[in-house]
Amino acid sequence: MKITRATDFAIRLLAHLAAGEVETTCQVLSRELGIPYNHLAKLIQIMSRRGFVITKKGKGGGLRLAVDPKKINLAEVMEAVEGPVMINDCLLNKKSCRFSGKCKARKCLGAVKNQINQMLMKTTIHDIALSYN
């Protein structure tokens, strides 16, 4: 399993907003976080649709967190950007592999996936933001 660049950017975006606690703009965030503006704008749309950020358009506009960063966990952020966290297709759909019914590795991989998900669900944007201060 590899976290995509988009998920990394989304986590950094939310943590930065949580650490700053002030409204800011996409241009400022792009410069401060080193994330290309167009890529950041798309992530902000995703985070807004998911209810993690509030955006205001026009003069004096910007964005800020919509919810307490303690209530946003990394699993939610990853799922918003990438979809379900998976380490192997067979864990999502048994029919994707002809060996799923008798595979010895599937059970072990399922346990690993569950531990990863637990850790991601336990870790919040607030936890990440603490390292910014």
- Amino acid 21: pLDDT: 67
CATH class of 5-84+124-130: mainly alpha
- Amino acid 100: pLDDT: 67
For residue 54, pLDDT over 90 is answered with yes
- Model-level pTM? 0.86
Sequence-distant (≥ 6) Cβ neighbours of residue 47 within 8 angstroms: 10, 13, 14, 53, 80
Q: Alpha helices, DSSP H only, in 5-124?
A: 5-20, 26-33, 37-49, 74-82, 104-122
Cα pseudo-dihedral 103, 107, 109, 114, rounded to 10:
160
Is the distance from CB of 50 to CB of 63 less than 8 angstroms?
no
- Amino acid 133: pLDDT: 56
For residue 1, pLDDT over 70 is answered with no
pLDDT, one tens digit per residue, over 58-94 is 777 789 999 999 999 999 999 999 988 777 777 767 7
- Amino acid 132: pLDDT: 65
Residue in this structure with the two tokens 């703009």, named with its chain if needed: 25
Give the span between the Cα atoms of 78 and 132, in whole angstroms: 20
pLDDT, one tens digit per residue, over 13-29 is 999 999 986 788 999 99
User: Angle at the Cα of 129 (from 23 to 18), degrees rounded to 5?
Assistant: 20
Residue in this structure with the two tokens 């950094």, named with its chain if needed: 12
Share of the chain above pLDDT 90, in %: 59
Please state the domain extents for the chain: 5-84+124-130
Picking from 4-13, 36-45, 106-115, 122-131, which range would have the lowest pLDDT averaged per residue?
A: 106-115
